[in-house]
Each structure stands twice: as structure tokens, then as C-alpha cells.
Amino acid sequence: MRKAKDNENVPKRYYRPLITTCPRCGAPLRRRWTLWDKYLVTLEGRLHVFSLGYSCSRARCPHAQVIYRSVEAEQLSPKGSSFGYDLIVQIGGWRFWDHRTLDEIATLLEAKHLPVSRRHILNLIGDFLALLRAAQPAKIEAQRAYLNRQGLVISLDGLAPEQGNELLFVAREANLDLTLVAETLYSSRADLISQHVLEPIKALGFRIRAVVSDADKNIRRAVQTSWPGCPHQACQVHCLCEAGQPIFDTDRAMKTDLRRDIRAKLRPISRRLSQSLPDDPPVAVLTDYSEALRDALRAEGLSPFKLAGLQLYDELQQLETSLRRCQKKGGIPFWPRCSTSRLPANAMQSNMLN
């Protein structure tokens, strides 16, 4: 539950109409009142958005009663939603283009400090699909000739937010990356999948060439019922993700350990660097190193092949080699204006290496 004080430090953003003068008489527009305001979660973070209404400042203007508003403000989010389109599209992209799981999406949002619960993520995926679906009939129509010729290769995906909640099923044409059906079902029973997800595809009237999905028993049974004899392959991304999960988990644990250790060591050095004169050449070099280090620590993995722990380990080794080379060449001399309160750059550099 969000408390009133959580809203205290939310940045405010005001939207005004694009025009500043009355289109009828040319007099300047004047601000009348706030048409609406709401708290919105966008990719930038939480915002308090105000849409301001303006009207002609000349009382006798025949258009004096017309209220002008910001088009941009109206386009920030769906009506009645407190999440921006940018966020909805990003979540949809993570889910369906990058094949991220709900957990991974939750982690990505957390890293951006965006307050979106798992339940909301699923709703936003639903919103994303509703947006996609709205454009679907036109897209299917545009591809009709191709689909008549080639038939459909269906990719089926079931998504459960947590035990006991409703499930989201999405069917797409795999070659065109076209969403055909997206349905929320209260149970993953085969007959429901068949009735609500597969039958609508059948109704489109195209030849079904093959189906790709994970190894879920209900999905397999539903496909056998709706399209008996249709080739049904296990999705390679799902298989690889499942096979690679133990490695991915171990790698993530290593990344967490490395991060914790390095951050603890980096903190006092960063503090000391920020207290030093920025135009000192050694400070500039060491600041670059600490920036590179911080950047390396931000690495994010993606199951099954992008292993952020290993990547971080490699980058740390490269940084270490570079720092040692620097030290050997004497590239970072002692602090030029060394005072007792400051640590020589060499000592700081050694700290970075240890």
C-alpha cells in the first residue's frame, strides 16, 4: 500500500497545449485550470503529471469558451491507467522479443527503481497484447496472401504470474512474429486452451503447418485435440533456458558476490577521489578506472547464454591488467601536491588492485 508521503518527492510535470495564441483571434491563450492530474509510472520513474487547460484571453472572442489541451499529455498512458505507454511497450518487448521471464522483468524494473509488482507486470503484458491485438486484423489482412500461400507456424506460450492466479496464453505466427491470439484463462486445462486459444486461430482459415511450444502437457493435449497429427516441436529457447538454468543460477550467485566485494572496496576510493582536485592527472585517470569499474558492475545477464558473472569477471581481469601495466610504466606518478591528508595516487591504485 502506498502512503501519502511516498508521493511527496515525486517530480511534477506540467503539460500545456502546443499553441500559445487563439487560432480564431490571435490573442494569447491564458491558463484556466488543471484538466486532470495523475501519478504515472514511466520508464523515467514516477511522475506527477498535470494537463493544463488554456483558453483565449479575450473575453469577447467567439471562441472564448474553447479549452485547449496538451495532445502529448493525452498520449502518455492509456485512459484510466497509471502506467505510461513507454513502460507497457518496454515490458512487452522484454517478454516477447527478449523472452524474459516474469522474474527477470521484475529484476529489470527493480534495477530502474520502478515500483511495479508482479501482478501489475502481468496486467501490463495484457495491456501490451491488447494494443497489439487492436492492430492485428489489419496486419493479418496485409499478410493474407503470404499466409494463404505459406500457412501458419504457431508459437504458443503460457505465462503464469504465480500459483493460483489466472494464466496468459499467447499464440503468434512464428515466421512473421505476428500475434494471433492473446487470452487470459483461469486454468491451464487443455480444453480451455483448445477452445479459447486454438479455435480462434482455426477460424482464421489458414493451413496450420506446425506448432512450437514448451513441453507443457496441457498445451500438447490441446494441440492434439484441435489439430490432430500436426507437427509439434518443443521450443528451443525454452529447452535451452531450462537446461542452462543451473549454470545461470550459479553465475548469478557469483556476480552477486563479486559485486558486493568490489562495491565495498570501491566506496572509500570513490569518496577519496571525489574529495581530490579533479584536474590532477592521476585523479582523472583513477576516476576513469572507477567509472569503468562501476560500469562493469552494472552488467545484466540473460538466460541461457548471457552470463553476467563471467562477463564481470573478465572485465575485472582486464581492468586489473590495465592498472598493473599502468603501475609498471609509472604512468600514475605520486600525487603532485601531496599533503598529509591525501593518500598518494599510487597507494590508491594499489587499493584498487587488492
**CB-based contacts of 249: which residues, under 8 Å, 6+ apart?**
none
Of the pair 67, 106, the CB lying nearest Zn ion is at 67
Q: How far is the CB of 38 from Zn ion (least distance, A)?
A: 30
What's the closest the beta carbon of residue 67 comes to Zn ion, in angstroms? 12
Three-state SS at 339: coil
Shortest Å distance, C-beta 59 to Zn ion: 9
Q: Alpha-carbon torsion 13, 18, 24, 26, what sign?
A: positive
Beta-bridge partners for 51: 15, 36
- Nearest approach in angstroms of CB 16 to Zn ion is 17
What is the three-class DSSP state of 205? coil
Say how many residues make up the chain: 354
**Closest distance between Zn ion and the C-beta of residue 34, in Å?**
21
Decide whether 27 or 326 has the Cβ nearer to Zn ion.
Answer: 27
Q: Give the shortest CB-33-to-Zn ion separation in angstroms.
A: 18
Minimum gap (Å) between residue 18 Cβ and Zn ion:
16
Alpha-carbon dihedral of residues 137, 141, 143, 144, nearest 10 degrees? 130
Q: Which is nearer to Zn ion, 26 or 331 (CB)?
A: 26
Whichever of 65 and 341 has its CB closer to Zn ion, that residue is 65
Cβ closest to Zn ion, residue 35 vs residue 61: 61
CA 166 to each of CA 169, 184, 208, 294: distance values in angstroms, whole numbers, following the listed order: 10, 7, 27, 40
Q: Quick one: 55 or 77, whose CB is closer to Zn ion?
A: 55
Report CA torsion sign: 237, 193, 197, 224: positive
Contact set with Zn ion (CB under 5 A): 22, 24-25, 27, 56, 58, 61, 63
Is the CB of 29 or the CB of 201 nearer to Zn ion?
29
CA distances from 195 to 140, 203, 213, 227, 233 (A): 21, 11, 17, 12, 21
Helix (H) or strand (E) holding 30: strand 29-42
Quick one: cell of 130? 491488447
